[in-house]
Structure formats: C-alpha cells, structure tokens
Amino acid sequence: MTNMNWKIVAGVGCASLAAAGTGYLLYLLGQKSAHSDKRLPSTDKTYENNDPINLYVIDHTTINPVLKKLHKLSTSHSKGIMTTAIEQDTFLTILTKSLNAKKAIDIGMFFGCRAMALALGLSDGGKVVGLEINSEYIENGKPFFAEAGISDKIDIRIKDAEEGLSEMIKDGESGTYDIAFLDAFNKSYPSYLEPVYTLLCPEGLFVIDNALQGGKVVDPQVDKSVNGVFRINDMLKNDCRFEVVLLKVADGIMIARKI
C-alpha cells in the first residue's frame, strides 16, 4: 500500500474514532440531562385534563345524572380542585352498596358530591353524617340532594370535624358506622384515626383521599414528618387493627378495613 493510501486509511480511522467519541459524549450528556430532568410520578384527577385515558375512564363509568350536574358545579368553583374525581364517587357508591351499609361519615363535604355518592349507595333508612366547617360550600349541594331524592339520608353538621366525631362517640355511636371517608385539612389527618376507628363497626372501611399527594410521597426532598397524609399512611400501614390497600386512583385512595 502506498504512503498516500495509508494516510487516507489513517484519516478515516481517526475521523471514525472522533465521531464515536462525540457520539458517546452526547449519550452521556443526554443521560445526565434525562436524570436531571426526571419528574416525579404524576397523579391527577380525571377532570383536570382531557387525557385520552381520563376520558376513557369517564366514558366507562356509571355516573348518576344528578351527581354529574353537582360535580360540574363543584369543579367550576375557585377551589374546585377540592372536588373528588367523579369515578371516585361512583366507586364509593358501589363500595357502599356492596357493604349493604346503613351508616356513613363524610369528613370534609365541600359541595357534597361525595356525601351524595355515599347516600346513593346506602340501604333504605341509611344515613350519611357530613361534617363541614364552611356552610357556604354545602349550601350549593342541597338543591341537588333534593333533586336526587336523598336529602333525608344526609345529616349535615356545620362544625369542626374532630369536634363532630367526638360528639358522635359521646352520643353512644361507637362501633356503628360502616364506612368513613376523609378529605379534610390534610395536616389534621392523623388526629382523625382514633375517633374514626372507634366509630367504625368491625370490618368497617376508612377511606382516605389524596393519599399520594401528587406524587410527593416518593420525593426524598419532602419533609414527610410535617405532612398529615404521609403520617396517616404510615400509621395505617403499621397498625395491626387494620388491613390496608393504597390505590393509584386520582390522587390516591387509601382503604383501611377495621379488623
């Protein structure tokens, strides 16, 4: 081979190595960028966006028409994000029916979508005790309760939830409730555990909303010791009086069954 041919081969080889080196460098930079841009797992409520999966979920869920109207009104409010996802409400109706429940507790009513969902699932003569501190919120739901024919099943109590639960225990209602749903001030979640346990009957269900906190449950930078949702999740996981399951529905639902 002539000297000229050797120079050409050498030149091509160097160019190939340089290209390979550049490609590898870009790969490493891409890996670093992907790592630095890594996002927490997302959780959302189906009404927050028109994601095709969310639309599919809604399309394949049985939704009470009056509840659907109340849900629309509730989500249109400036604090509408406090509304539960409508498939959660239907889930509660089916769950309550399956339990053949007669007594339920709704802690933190907002416009009352969840209370309506529970009431729709209760057997004849059943009652939902709804605890809500803001009377203005729940006034919006009352006409819809009447339209759905369930006003007599919803006992609205405008008061602090801890106070309301304490009064129910003092009134001798311990061990008589089939299901309790919690969606109130997150910081106070742990304080509801004992009174709810006391009020639930054996095999009764304690259902807790927002149990995934928008994915923050797996964020190492979050101080979980000051967040009531994280704390009650751990409390229930380690409480031998319950068996629990955490479902990735909307922003997470923790279901604890009293043993």
Q: Where are the domains of the chain?
A: 1-38, 52-258
Band of pLDDT at residue 15, cut at 50, 70 and 90: very low
Name the percent of the chain lying above pLDDT 90: 69
pTM (global) more than 0.85: no
Query: Residue 122: is its pLDDT beyond 60?
Result: yes
pLDDT score recorded for residue 47: 73
Amino acid found at 4: M
127 contacts: CB under 8 Å, gap ≥ 6: 102, 103, 104, 153, 154, 155
User: Topology of domain 52-258, per CATH?
Assistant: Rossmann fold (3.40.50)
Q: Find the Cα–Cα–Cα–Cα dihedral 157, 250, 202, 108, rounded to 10°.
A: -10
Band of pLDDT at residue 16, cut at 50, 70 and 90: very low
Band of pLDDT at residue 90, cut at 50, 70 and 90: very high
Mean per-residue pLDDT, 208-234: 90
pLDDT score recorded for residue 135: 96
Band of pLDDT at residue 66, cut at 50, 70 and 90: very high
Query: Residue 154: is its pLDDT beyond 60?
Result: yes
Helix (H, G, I), strand (E, B) or coil at 238: coil
Band of pLDDT at residue 39, cut at 50, 70 and 90: low
Band of pLDDT at residue 25, cut at 50, 70 and 90: very low
**What is the spatial order of strands in the sheet that 154-158 belongs to?**
154-158, 127-132, 103-107, 177-182, 200-209, 253-258, 242-247
CB count within 10 Å of CB 112 equals 27
Amino acid found at 227: N
Higher per-residue pLDDT: 50 or 194: 194
CA separation for the pair 31, 38 (Å, rounded): 10
CA separation for the pair 188, 205 (Å, rounded): 19
Rg (the chain; Cα; Å): 26
Mean per-residue pLDDT, 153-160: 97
Sole residue written with tokens 């290209």: 19
pLDDT score recorded for residue 41: 53
pLDDT score recorded for residue 6: 45
Eight-state DSSP code of residue 152: G
Mean per-residue pLDDT, 61-70: 97
CB count within 10 Å of CB 15 equals 10
CA angle 42, 233, 137 (to 5 degrees): 75
Query: Residue 121: is its pLDDT beyond 70?
Result: yes
Mean per-residue pLDDT, 238-253: 95
Mean per-residue pLDDT, 177-185: 96
